[in-house]
Amino acid sequence: LDASHIPGARHIPRGPLELRVNDALPDPSVRILVYCELGKISTFAAATLHDMGFTRALARDGAFKAWREAGFPLETAAS
């Protein structure tokens, strides 16, 4: 797979999520769309964010694969 992502996305891997999210997103009231390639890891990440007080976090139904297949906009690291 290429290194594309949803425009405006911030890459925070699931592993260090709890350690990095407060620095990356200091306002817990912001809406957060969490996604991964197939939707499994993002579901856990969204639940973790909810537990941490990010009550507007949600996992994207269908995951990144569905976003890409629907032809929605993408960015690459070079964009």
Following DSSP, what letter does each residue of 54-75 receive, concatenated? -TTEEEPTTHHHHHHHTT---B
CA distance 53 to 66: 28
- pLDDT by residue, tens only, the chain of 79 residues: 467 899 988 889 889 999 999 999 999 999 999 998 888 899 999 999 999 999 999 998 878 888 889 999 999 876 4
- Rounded to a whole number of angstroms, the distance between the first and last alpha carbons of the chain is 17
pTM, two decimals, is: 0.81
